[in-house]
Structure 1
Amino acid sequence: MDRVRLSKRMSRALRHDPARVGLELDEGGWTPVDALCAALGATPDEVEDVVANGSKQRYEIVDGRVRARYGHSLPGHVEMPPADPPPRLFHGTSAGAVDAILREGLHAGGRQYVHLSPSEATAREVGSRHGRPVILAVDAQAAAAAGAVFRRGNADTWLTETLAPAYLRRA
């Protein structure tokens, strides 16, 4: 099976709509690898290939179970350990949303976490999914000093639950 196609199917099953393919996730977002394979018509080797070689490092396998590490729109939280963020992070958004974000701050909305990028280029790529992108610089160091908890989703994704407008500005 094509890795990109399987990764997209895994994303839907593990991040957004497990019931659609007959899966149940536990409170930590885990399901047996065998159950995922049966639900998606994939082999364990194909699933392991997506986990090991997927470009966004979205998944992990531990003790025969698999889960999406971040990006969930399901209830509950996939717990990830807190981490010290770099001094500056970036958030890509649409031109239509930027004024409200600068007024009200960043909130997870339908996801579990706000997604931030360590590079302006990655934030621009993410923001372009919503039309003409606007890039916000995040003073992550000051936000962390004030109590914001950051988590590392992968090499290109930092996560937090919310950010006050005081830590945001147009890049």
Structure 2
Amino acid sequence: MSINYTELSKEISYALRHAPWEYELELDAEGFVPIEQLLFALNESEKYERNIDLTDLEHIIKISEKKRHEIVANKIRALYGHSVPQMIKKIAGTPPAILYHGTTHRALKSILNEGLKPMRRQYVHLSIDTDMATQVGKRRDSTPIILQIDTVKAEDAGVHFYIGNERVWLCDFIPADTLTILR
């Protein structure tokens, strides 16, 4: 029996990022839950043709272009995109000198006046390249605006950056004066 891995990945992201309580999961300070707990919750619903197991989770992580999840020891977590009230601790780091953010035409005026805010998420998400920023921006606008962020200037202004994964950086806020419209 085959599993729709796209559907499963979306459900895991929803459970770990936005609604762990709906699955009776409790995130630790770093956003991890025991794999056994997640598998129990997924299999309890009987939504899938067969029971989901560790190899399914490993497969989702392996095939994901965006590297949304991570397994460490016997735990799994979403790497970014959280909207849960509990603040997920992230590892601080020094990002590349330039990062990018894809946004909508509708949001641009506000961003240029007030800076980039996390909105309904815990952190502002930034990409290491324009391709990913464009892909993210296209979720809400067919021709997104791509902003370029001067991370050195942002750090000088007191912004702290955190590692999301190898292509995504996170921060609490980006001041408007560190942004440039790339296209």
Distance 1:155 1:13 in 2: 22
Letter in 1 for 2:53: T
Is 1:14 matched up with 2:16?
yes
Deviations 1:20-67 (A, max 9, x none): 223222333221101101111211211122234422112122231111
1:5 alignment counterpart: 7
Q: Compute the RMSD of aligned alpha carbons.
A: 1.4
Q: 1:153-164 residue pairs with structure 2 within 5 A? A: 153-164=164-175
SS at match of 2:31: coil
TM-score normalised to structure 2 length? 0.87
TM-score normalised to structure 1 length? 0.93
Distance 2:155 2:131 in 1: 23
Asked whether the equivalents of residues 69 and 78 of structure 1 are also in contact (C-alpha less than 8 Å), the reply is no
Deviations 1:66-103 (A, max 9, x none): 11121100012222211111111111000000010000
Q: 1:78-89 residue pairs with structure 2 within 5 A? A: 78-89=88-99
Give the strand-richer structure, 1 or 2: 1
SS at match of 1:142: helix
SS at match of 2:164: strand
Distance 2:106 2:146 in 1: 12
Identity of aligned residues (%): 39
SS at match of 2:71: strand
Is 1:103 matched up with 2:113?
yes
Gaps of 5+ in 1: none
Letter in 2 for 1:134: I
Distance 1:151 1:29 in 2: 14
Asked whether the equivalents of residues 29 and 89 of structure 2 are also in contact (C-alpha less than 8 Å), the reply is no
Asked whether the equivalents of residues 89 and 117 of structure 1 are also in contact (C-alpha less than 8 Å), the reply is yes
State the 1:143 CA deviation: 0.9
Asked whether the equivalents of residues 70 and 78 of structure 1 are also in contact (C-alpha less than 8 Å), the reply is no
1:36 alignment counterpart: 38
Letter in 1 for 2:175: A
Distance 1:70 1:133 in 2: 21
